[in-house]
Structure 1
Amino acid sequence: MKSWPIIRPYVMIAPALIVFLLFFIYPIYYMVYLSLHSWDFISPTKDFVGLSNFQQLLNSSEFAKVLSNTLVYTFGTVVFSITLALFLALWLNRSTRIHRLAQTAVFSPYIISLASIALLWLWMMDPDFGLLNWLLSLVGIPKQPWLTDQNTALFSLILVAVWKGVGFNTLVFIAGLQSIPKDLYEAADLDQSPKWRTFYKITLPMLTPTLFFLVVTNVIVSFQVFDTVHIMTLGGPVNSTNTLVFNIYMHGFRFFNIGYASAVGVILLILLAIMTWLYFRLLSKRVHYQ
């Protein structure tokens, strides 16, 4: 067949393309389609309602609270996790046996299932018999409500997320640190540059691609938080830990308001797309500058 060399590349990529269309493109299209309809998951017909789901969503005080919770959770998780991981990486970036064991200990929570971690911390944060309150009592600090008070519940979920994710961020930072040319540090030592100036002028700029990567991945993961909310708080107390993905689950699979849930999903998709675009825009500017 003379045409075989021409169509061969398309035949080779056809399986991956079919999977991509079926499991990525079609679900996004169907979510947008459902967001323009009213459907209760049971009725055989879907009523077209246009943008009324989005109008209801944007005028809802519940959605404003959910979006606020998600933004606070994402900001707290990303900032604390990346900052702590950077300091741990600077300390653990050594090849001694103790530091290798410490790297393993820091990374181990990341490989544990999130459901198991949520159950573990649910017990540890028990207001009466939890480990955390027992430790606080040893130093004279009164018991904390943790998950049962709307002022501390979201912070408690952030604490769990940081504990689980800091190990992965630390290892990525260590890989970034080890890729920095050693002669830069040798030149700084010859100039008798202070440690803080070496970090600010050499280490931090050279870690910028790593930092950008971790910020984007952590933001995406934080926006998609569900397991810990579902297991530990169910969005409470008083909606204080209700996040976008959990809100989608509640309206879609508890209240059977598929159109509204799909509208929330579209908003989530737009937010993640904007953040990803900003990441690549900033990264391209940095590459162009270099």
Structure 2
Amino acid sequence: MSKKKPTKSFERKLEKTAYLFILPAAVLLIVFCIVPMLASFWVSAQNMGVDLSQAKYVGLGNYAKALSDRRFIQSIGITLKYTAIEVPLQMVIGVFLSALLAKNTLLNKLFRSIYFLPVVASAVTVGVTWQLVLHSNIGIFTYWLKCIGFSDANLLNNTTTAIYVVVFVAIWKTFGISAIILVSAIQNIPDSLFEASAIDGAGKVRQFFSVTLPGVMPSFWFLLMTRIIGSLQMFDIVYTMTGGGPSRSTTTMVVYIYDQAFNSMNKTGYATAMSEFLFAGILLVTCVMYYIMNKTSD
């Protein structure tokens, strides 16, 4: 017996049902994402603080002010420096560890769990913990450095070393997730590819570059994009460890925006305008990375 084809009225009912399931998520997206985003453009065009009744329209004045703000430009430079150091190191460590931990041995599973532990800890907890470890008076790491002859071992209060300490802590906090995602990508590569390369005489190093790396590239590009975006938005670890100091040497864009929004009077509109610059930068990075991902997947 031939099966009856569903009627058009039945198909329309299915479509309506599907829209009903989508509706709650769409409403939440509009209320909590689209509306605040549109409202932020209005706020960025106002000279205002927390009191909306005191708002004064200034058009693009806040944007022009941001472009001439030396400290804001400095925060952009610090953010880019942080990103340029943290992201490549993060990816290299993730790829290296994933290659070492790809096989499902008991020891590898144990190390995967250990490396993933910092990921589940909150960034504030991590920042405060490392701030205490590196404290100039009570920090155990600072004490060890002094014991071996480093009299000036206050790394967090040094304008040269503070940014590198923050980078180290950020990598320590998040490298586990990069390694685990890449391990999963390696395990999805067919064994036949490794066997074929071995028959052709390829050693472990050549297999890594000719089989493993190409096989994990989709996951690699995704991780690279998310790490760049995360680095551009870096706030919590920096704020809990250094507060943007010393001498603003670790004041990233988000730290400076936060300072202007909540620690300065009547600068909510100005802080929002700076946030739009950050949003534009993240949007640009996302578009470029998606373009590269589509090109490499073809």
When structure 1 is superposed on structure 2, of 66-75 and 89-98 the one drifting more is: 89-98
Distance (Å, rounded) in 1 between the aligned partners of 2:144 and 2:281: 40
In structure 2, the CA distance between the partners of 1:194 and 1:12, relative to structure 1 (3 Å rule), is: closer
| TM-score, structure 1 as length reference | 0.93
Question: Is the counterpart of residue 174 in structure 1 residue 170 in structure 2?
Answer: no
Q: Which residue, 259, 273, 294 being the options, matches 1:263?
A: 273
Determine if contact 1:251/1:258 at 8 Å carries over to the other structure.
yes
Distance (Å, rounded) in 2 between the aligned partners of 1:41 and 1:168: 38
Determine if contact 2:146/2:153 at 8 Å carries over to the other structure.
no
Question: Is the counterpart of residue 56 in structure 1 residue 56 in structure 2?
Answer: no
Task: Report how far residue 90 of structure 1 moved.
Answer: 1.2
Q: Which residue, 135, 146, 162 being the options, matches 1:153?
A: 162
When structure 1 is superposed on structure 2, of 25-34 and 186-195 the one drifting more is: 186-195
Question: Is the counterpart of residue 282 in structure 1 residue 298 in structure 2?
Answer: no
Task: Report how far residue 94 of structure 1 moved.
Answer: 2.2
Partner of 2:38: 29
* Amino acid across the alignment from 1:191: D
What SS is found at the alignment partner of 1:271?
helix
Partner of 2:209: 200
What SS is found at the alignment partner of 2:80?
helix
Question: Is the counterpart of residue 42 in structure 1 residue 30 in structure 2?
Answer: no
Distance (Å, rounded) in 2 between the aligned partners of 1:270 and 1:245: 14
Task: Report how far residue 10 of structure 1 moved.
Answer: 3.4
Question: Is the counterpart of residue 116 in structure 1 residue 125 in structure 2?
Answer: yes
Distance (Å, rounded) in 2 between the aligned partners of 1:197 and 1:72: 33
Counterparts of residues 75-224 of structure 1 (less than 5 Å): 75-137=84-146, 143-224=152-233
Task: Report how far residue 8 of structure 1 moved.
Answer: 4.1
Partner of 1:229: 238
Paired positions, count: 287
Question: Is the counterpart of residue 240 in structure 1 residue 249 in structure 2?
Answer: yes
Deviation track 1:245-290 (CA, whole Å, cap 9, x = no partner) reads 11121111111301110011101111111111111101111222xx
In structure 2, the CA distance between the partners of 1:209 and 1:41, relative to structure 1 (3 Å rule), is: same
What SS is found at the alignment partner of 1:279?
helix
Distance (Å, rounded) in 2 between the aligned partners of 1:143 and 1:170: 35
Distance (Å, rounded) in 1 between the aligned partners of 2:152 and 2:179: 31
* Amino acid across the alignment from 2:278: L
Task: Report how far residue 176 of structure 1 moved.
Answer: 0.8
Determine if contact 2:193/2:211 at 8 Å carries over to the other structure.
yes
| TM-score, structure 2 as length reference | 0.90
Task: Report how far residue 12 of structure 1 moved.
Answer: 3.1
* Amino acid across the alignment from 2:172: W
Distance (Å, rounded) in 2 between the aligned partners of 1:75 and 1:62: 20
Determine if contact 2:218/2:297 at 8 Å carries over to the other structure.
no
Identity of aligned residues (%): 28
Task: Report how far residue 136 of structure 1 moved.
Answer: 3.7
Structure 1 runs of 4+ with >4 Å offset: 137-143
Distance (Å, rounded) in 2 between the aligned partners of 1:134 and 1:170: 32
Pick the structure with greater CA Rg. 2
Task: Report how far residue 35 of structure 1 moved.
Answer: 0.8
Gaps of 5+ in 2: 1-8
